[in-house]
Amino acid sequence: MTVAVEKAPTAEKREGRREKRPAHHAHRAGRPHAAWALPGVLFFTFFAVVPMALALYLSFTSWDGLGDPVPVGLDNWRKLLDDPRMTQSLWLTVVLTAASWVFQTVIALLLGVWAAGRQRNRAVLSAIFFVPFLLSSTAIAILFYALLDPNFGIIQRDTLGSQSGAFLAIVFVGGWQFIPFHTLIYQGGARQIPDVLYQAAAIDGAGRYRQFFSITLPQLRHTITTSTVLMVVGSLTYFETVLILTKGGPGTDTAILPYLMYEAGFKTYDFGYASAIASSLVIAATGLSLVLVRLTGFGTMRSTREGM
C-alpha cells in the first residue's frame, strides 16, 4: 500500500527531469560498489563458513576442549562408521524429519487453505492458532515435559518412557510449535491464487475436492517447497525438545544427530568425534540445500534477477 503511494510522486518527478537532462548517464551512476557487501560477507564467513571448515579440520583431531587439538587422521571417522549409535541416530533423524514433515504439512496446508477463505470467525481462530509459535522451543518443551509427567500430567502414564511414546511426543510437540507458522505460510500462498481459476473450474463443473487437487495444490507448489525447506532445516534443530523432553532416551531411542553431537562434545569432551558428527551434518545439510535451492522459489529468485 505505502509503496504505491510513495512511488507516484517520484515517478512524476522523473518525467519532469527527463525533459531537461539526457538519461544515458543514469545507467552507471549511482550503483553501489560491490565492496558494500564485504562487512556482511566477512561477518558471516567468520562465524559460519570458517567454523564449518574448522569442524572438518577438528574431525581429524583429538581434542578435549582444553589443550590443543592433536591430529589423529581418520580415527574419528572410522569410529563414526563403526558406532551403532550413529547408524541408529542417522536413521532416527531421517524418520523424525519425515514424520514431522507429513504431520506438519498435512495439517498446516489444510488449515492454511481454510484460513485463506472468508468464513466467519476465521480471523479470530487464526489469531489463536498462532499462539504456540510465540513460546520458545525451550518453553514448549518444558510445558510438555510437565504435561506428560506420569504423576502430574494429562495422560496418566509414562509416555516418554517408551520408545514409540517418546518419538511420537517429539513429533507432536514439534508440530504443535511449528504448524502455526507453516499455516501462516500456506495462508499467504493460498491468498495469492487467482479467483478466476476457481470460477473457471466451477463453471466446468469441478467440485470442491477436485478444485483442491487440481488448482489449490498445484498452485501452492512453490509454497510447499519453501515450507518444506524451512521444516527440514527446522527439524534438525529439535535439539531443545529432545534435550528437555527425553534426554535422548529411553536409552538412545530419541538421540537425533545434533543430540549425539552435543553428548560427544559437551558431555564426554570428545570434541574430535563431535566434529566428525557435525561435519556429516554439514555435508548432509549442504547437499540437501543444493537440492532444495534448485527446487524452490529461492532458486527462481536468482534467475528472475539475472533475466532482468
Per CB under 8 A, which of residues 127..156 are in contact with other proteins? 127-132, 134-139, 142-147, 149, 151-154
CA distances from 35 to 48, 257, 306 (A): 20, 38, 20
In the complex, minimum distance from the CB of residue 253 to other proteins, in angstroms, rounded to a whole number: 19
- For residue 182, give the nearest of 275, 280, 279, 103 by alpha carbon: 103
Amino acid of residue 27: H
List the one residue from 72, 83, 101, 181 that touches other proteins (CB under 8 A). Answer: 181
With beta carbons less than 8 A apart as the criterion, state whether 274 and 264 touch: yes
Q: Using the minimum distance from each CB to other proteins, give the nearer residue, 7 or 78.
A: 7
Site for other proteins, residues 268 to 307, rule: CB under 8 A: 271, 274-275, 278-279, 281-282, 285-286, 288-290, 292-293, 297-298, 301-302, 304-306
Which residue in this structure is represented by grid cell 553501489? 32
Q: Which runs of E-coded beta strand occur in 72-172?
A: none
Residue whose CB is less far from other proteins, 95 or 202? 202
Burial class (CB in 10 A: 0-12, 13-18, 19+), 27: exposed
96 or 184: whose CB is closer to other proteins? Answer: 184
94 near other proteins, judged by CB under 8 A: no
Among 158, 176, 249, 252, binds other proteins (CB under 8 A): 176
CA distance between the termini of the chain: 24
Task: Supply the minimum distance, in Å, between the C-beta of residue 90 and other proteins.
Answer: 14
Residue 41 in grid coordinates: 560477507
CB of 77 to other proteins, least distance (A): 15
Which residue of 90, 99, 111, 170 would you call a contact of other proteins, by CB under 8 A?
111
Q: What kind and span of H or E run contains 199?
A: helix 195-203
Least distance to other proteins from the beta carbon of 2, Å?
A: 7
Is residue 248 a contact partner of residue 242, using CB atoms and an 8 Å limit?
yes
Q: How far apart are CA 183 and CA 48, in angstroms?
A: 30
Tell me whether the omega of the peptide bond preceding residue 84 falls within 30 degrees of 0, making it cis. no
> Which of 90, 92, 115, 255 touches other proteins (CB under 8 A)?
115
Binding-site residue total for other proteins (CB under 8 A)?
A: 133
Kindly state whether residue 163 participates in binding other proteins, applying the rule CB under 8 A.
Answer: no
Task: Name which of residues 199 to 258 contact other proteins (CB under 8 A).
Answer: 199, 201-202, 208, 211, 222-223, 226-227, 229-230, 232-233, 236-237, 239-240, 244, 257-258
- Phi, psi torsion values for 64, nearest 5 degrees: -100, 5
Dist. CA 254–CA 240, nearest whole Å: 12
Identify the CA nearest to 89 among candidates 229, 273, 226, 292. Answer: 273
Of 21-29, 72-80, 83-91, 160-168, the window that binds other proteins (rule: CB under 8 A) is: 21-29
| Least Cβ distance, residue 250 to other proteins (angstroms) | 18
Between 137 and 254, name the residue whose CB sits nearer to other proteins: 137
**Which of residues 19, 47, 164, 303 is near other proteins by CB under 8 A?**
47
Angstrom distance (rounded) from CA 299 to CA 306: 11
Residues in the chain: 308
Is residue 8 close enough to count as binding other proteins by CB under 8 A?
Answer: no
